[in-house]
A and B are shown apart, each in its own frame.
Chain A
Amino acid sequence: MIESIRFKLNGRPVNLKVDGERTLLWVLRSDLGVTGPKYGCGEGICGACTVLADNVAVLACQKTIKEVDGSEITTIEGLAQNGKLHPLQKAFVENAGFQCGYCTPGMILKAYSLLAENPTPSRDEIIAGMDDNLCRCGAHTRIVAAIETASREMKGGMK
């Protein structure tokens, strides 16, 4: 059923007339051309499609577009502010927290959500918090280091 859906995407208002049952991932990637969120498994297992809905990590392949009506959606494209990298992005660069980079948008946004909830996580808490995001290249140790670095840099704040 075609519905009128409104939400904020990376700070900008979006109004769509769209079948409300379509998934957020494909509406973002094809209708809106926002390609940061990636398809990896389509079943909510790998985390490559992770975006933020009201600052909480959600799996875009598991959300219908009508479920995010009225939300604020942030994708990796919206994380840097005024050309300034978010501390997490900076830390992923400095720690080489990626290899092929395909899972990276999901990793960074999942980490963002994790730090929003727990700004000073222990290493074990980072590992537990990130466990559902898959990386095939094996960048895990660097990703953990990047999140630790960002957490220190952010000193408990979110921006």
Chain B
Amino acid sequence: MMPSSAMNRREFLKRLGVLGGGVIIGFNTLDRLAWARRHRTGFLGGGIPTDFNAFLRIGTDNRVVLYTGKIEMGQGAMTSIPQLLAEELHVNYDAVDIVMGDTDLCPWDAGTFGSLSIRHFGIFLREAAAEARGVLMELAADHLKSPIGRLVAQDGYVNDTSKPGRRVSYGELTRGNIIEKHLNDVPPLKASSKLETMGKSFPRRDALEKVTGAAKFSGDIRLPGMLYAKILRPPAHGAKFIKADIAPAKNIDGIQVVEEGDFVAVLHKYPDVAEQGLAQIKSRFDRPKTGVDDKTIFDHLLKSAPDPEVASQGGSLKTGEKLASTVIEETYFNSYVAHAPIEPHTAAAEFDGKKLTVWASTQTPFSVKDLIAEQLNLSADNVRVIVPYVGGAFGGKSASGQALEAARLAKRIGKPVQVAWSRAEEFFYDTFRPAAIVKIKSGLNSAGRITFWDYNVYFAGMRGSKQFYEIPHHKEKVYGRWRGSARRHHPFAVGPWRAPANNTNVYARDLHLNLMAAKAGADPLQFRLEHLKDKRMINVLKAAARKFGWQPIKTPSGRGYGIACGIDAGTYVAFMAEVEVDRSSGNVNVKRVVCAQDMGVVVNPDGAATQMEGCITMGLGYVFTEEIHFKDGEIFDLNFDTYTLPKFSWLPKIETVILENPELAPQGGGEPAIIGMGGVIATAIYDAVGAAVFQLPMTPARVKSAMKQA
């Protein structure tokens, strides 16, 4: 399956070649299936290019430019990816420049999501860099007339170890030629004990630009003669356009209106004036009456649930139920959650009569390029997508409809156009984290062991649903995912939200486990450890407990201790928290959160810690406030007044621990540390006041209502 935007190799090399000087070395990637087998993963969906995956240009000045389709959205990839390259190419980290997310310059890439940049793409990149170094060594052997066995590559030079001072730089070896050469024997990757560049906390490369205002986001692109477009939107999802009277808008000086059926756009050289123009347009829509709102949604979803897929299973639930002396059955809910990046979807587009160039805040520049080419009848060669800095995305900037809107308008009017969604549009068109339901029925025997675990998750998805506890009889079933055909049952678009499905799965699993631990009279940490054999999980739990100073409790203990753990993107993560609950208001104050994770080799420790802190802080939002209210397709939360994001005053004391695991290749870092936030706070609230809150977010009203029922 080759996407149309993956131009052929020869063409690509030609294009890069004319960029002037230097050399590009292209690499074959390993066969995808072989790779998947080797890494024992069934997941081939994202991040693995099918043809070539990395391009280097080594300038005669010995600087190395890395071209990658990955984008920088705050996660720090522009800093960590060059570390991987420098390590295996044997060049100085500071000699590496990186060009990201430009579809004309960078090789095809599926997109920046799923914590794949390091753990999947990174492996290819390191292998490609090792192969490039091997090629350079061969060239050096010819150049220096030395046997290759005597040569050592270091800091961008190949040295003859037997003749001090005899050396040649990579730049001299390549001298502006295009070299495509493949080795039969690719040099092995460096052993973890020999890593020099990986494992160091290099400061972020985007820091200076971001503190001085020099950093350009899509909305900061200024093109000569550019107009800003505001587009007529329906009042509700599913509303049918009837008519619009555009005449009043035309009275405003300098306004241009584009009307193509239900697509009505008002353009002006100032965005605020375009908005005033749009406000003048009187429109009529036929609004749907679906009866589905944020309260009835759960019944609606349960009724329309598709047949389940089995995530994991073992033994027989029937047998397990017979062995149980206590059975616990509960249902857990979570609401729709918005991505709400502070930068709304934005794009600027320019059409020169032949070629469209689009600057867009997107996680998937190559899919956006394909979409635009297809929708606007252009060849893929005539669409270029460039991704400037992205102001947060969290899974929400994959669909990127704003880029198509800007492209469509620029092509139509022949002038550059910017489309920047307002905050209301951003909420309205978000691909929300789906509302979801989890039903768990489980049993304990008289010895306090779990005999069976019947797990059913509706609409959240597969990730994080697999069983990792030692339970003799269990079955984990997934009824509809956040992607695929189940999406049609939601009243609006849903999509991936940072660690999709896992937040829901961990919340339900860990709260349920603590309800079981309570019945068993067991300490929640000990209860988990007794049902675990997986060393990595045991290690992160123990590391979290040490940092937290966990004291065995019988929950609810009144101390307000919470615990959660899970696996995400190959990383194991454990959480502990301490809360105080105000019994009269239902307000919860999170005093501390400890998070310990095992992510294999750590590429940039400070960057990894930053991601963990970000996950924990962001996670407090879906724990306490974040929830989309709606009815009949109308979204009621359209700004941050009613949709509250975590604030400075919510900050708990956050402590992060990253375990050493040098034997394991780097795993995901951008998402794992958010997955346990629902679980750790729900179990902490239960421990504080003995009330299980069965729905996220755990608003004061829900906490109070849970206390009444407790």
Closest to B390 in A: A100
A4: Cβ under 8 A from any B Cβ:
no
B592-633 contacts to A, CB under 8 A, are 606-607, 610, 613-618
Q: A33 and B341: CB pair below 8 A?
A: no
Task: Encode A99-110 as 1/0 by CB contact (under 8 A) with B.
Answer: 111111100100
**A89-B331 Cα distance, complex, nearest whole Å:** 49
Chain B residue numbers with a CB within 8 Å of A102 are: 217, 341-343, 389, 391-392
Chain B residue numbers with a CB within 8 Å of A101 are: 74, 206, 209-210, 215, 389, 391
Chain B residue numbers with a CB within 8 Å of A103 are: 342, 391
Q: B423 and A131: CB pair below 8 A?
A: no
Closest to A31 in B: B270
- The smallest beta-carbon distance between A57 and chain B, in angstroms, is 15
Tell me whether A35 and B272 are in contact in the complex, defined as CB-CB below 8 angstroms, given that A127-B648, A138-B618 are known contacts: no
B487-525 contacts to A, CB under 8 A, are none
A7: Cβ under 8 A from any B Cβ:
no
- The smallest beta-carbon distance between B414 and chain A, in angstroms, is 20
Chain B residue numbers with a CB within 8 Å of A127 are: 648-649, 651
Q: B618 and A46: CB pair below 8 A?
A: no
Chain B residue numbers with a CB within 8 Å of A134 are: 342, 640, 645, 647
A63: Cβ under 8 A from any B Cβ:
no
Q: B342 and A136: CB pair below 8 A?
A: yes
A128: Cβ under 8 A from any B Cβ:
yes
Count A-B contacts at CB 8 Å.
168
Tell me whether A130 and B648 are in contact in the complex, defined as CB-CB below 8 angstroms, given that A30-B270, A101-B210, A102-B217 are known contacts: yes
A85: Cβ under 8 A from any B Cβ:
yes
Q: B73 and A100: CB pair below 8 A?
A: yes
A37-72 contacts to B, CB under 8 A, are 38-43, 45-46, 48
The answer, among B343, B423, B610, for a CB contact under 8 Å with A43, is: B423
**A23-B270 Cα distance, complex, nearest whole Å:** 11
Chain A residue numbers with a CB within 8 Å of B209 are: 101
Closest to A79 in B: B212
- The smallest beta-carbon distance between B431 and chain A, in angstroms, is 16
Q: A136 and B645: CB pair below 8 A?
A: yes
Q: A100 and B228: CB pair below 8 A?
A: no
- The smallest beta-carbon distance between A99 and chain B, in angstroms, is 4
Q: B645 and A142: CB pair below 8 A?
A: no
The answer, among A38, A45, A142, for a CB contact under 8 Å with B641, is: A45
Q: B651 and A136: CB pair below 8 A?
A: no
B199: Cβ under 8 A from any A Cβ:
no
Chain A residue numbers with a CB within 8 Å of B214 are: 77
Chain B residue numbers with a CB within 8 Å of A79 are: 212
Q: B640 and A45: CB pair below 8 A?
A: yes
A residues neighboring B (CB under 8 Å): 22-23, 26, 29-31, 33, 35-36, 38-43, 45-46, 48, 75-77, 79-80, 85, 89, 92-94, 96, 98-105, 108, 126-128, 130-144
B residues neighboring A (CB under 8 Å): 73-76, 203-204, 206-217, 219-220, 222, 228, 269-273, 340-344, 389-392, 394, 420, 422-423, 606-607, 610, 613-618, 639-641, 645-649, 651, 654
